[in-house]
Structure 1
């Protein structure tokens, strides 16, 4: 799935780990990611968290999409900061899932908190793997 994810790759995101229901991704904040306050634009932090969410909820090899998501920005982030998004499954029942994604800086401080709802659709990430 990462090989096909041009958006995450274009922004320099690295997929660190994927296990069933979890994923960890990193991204270093670049100059072009800064807003008018010279801090990381919230949209980029949302993208990082959303990508980690996508890998976590697709980790069962069932095609799964976002149904809803929200984010809270907790601390400003400066250029050069390595952000880490850690996605953790809270609940997975039937075709729906709930995931928490913590976005932290290099010191481990929580800078954003994301919560995503997933919905499983038809198809597999790797065809015939589950057969």
Structure 2
């Protein structure tokens, strides 16, 4: 199995069990080793008291993209620490895309950056996540 095939198989397995991302309307658009792209359209139920997308939904989109990027090697990997900087508001009807990229992966630790943009290419937020590999695999041996 190639690295790309392994990444795809891991993503398919995770997606089949990721009720949270699916129920929130997130879409897994692309996956490759250390990389993923996910998207969602901001719905009315995702807006806050200011009429903009609640930051928790933006964080969730970024966190899910992070999870799919760092779980492309068939090793169960979880978030150790995450931070997000909100740079611009997202509005009702915006299509948000989160692109996760692996920056470093050494031993059990990884570092990933996720950029969230709207349909116009405006950067909405930047997310950085540190991952930690645990025992076990995503796919059966």
TM-score, reference length from structure 1: 0.97
**Structure 1 residue corresponding to 2:138, chosen from 109, 125, 128:** 125
**Structure 2 residue corresponding to 1:54, chosen from 37, 56, 67:** 67
Aligned residues: 128
Give ranges in structure 1 of 5+ residues lacking alignment.
Answer: none
**Structure 1 residue corresponding to 2:41, chosen from 3, 16, 28:** 28
**Structure 2 residue corresponding to 1:66, chosen from 79, 85, 98:** 79
| 1:83 match: secondary structure | strand
| 1:85 match: secondary structure | strand
Deviations 1:8-31 (A, max 9, x none): 001100000110000000011010
Deviations 1:29-49 (A, max 9, x none): 010100100000000000000
What is the distance in 1 between the residues matched to 2:140 and 2:97? 30
Higher helix share: 2
- 1:92 is displaced (CA, Å) by 0.2
| 1:2 match: secondary structure | helix
TM-score, reference length from structure 2: 0.90
- 1:127 is displaced (CA, Å) by 1.4
What is the distance in 1 between the residues matched to 2:61 and 2:84? 11
- 1:80 is displaced (CA, Å) by 0.6
- Off by >6 Å, runs of 4+ in structure 1: none
**Structure 2 residue corresponding to 1:83, chosen from 96, 105, 122:** 96
The residue aligned with 1:39 is 52
The correspondence of residues 91-130 of structure 1 with structure 2, limited to 5 A, is 91-128=104-141
The residue aligned with 2:20 is 7
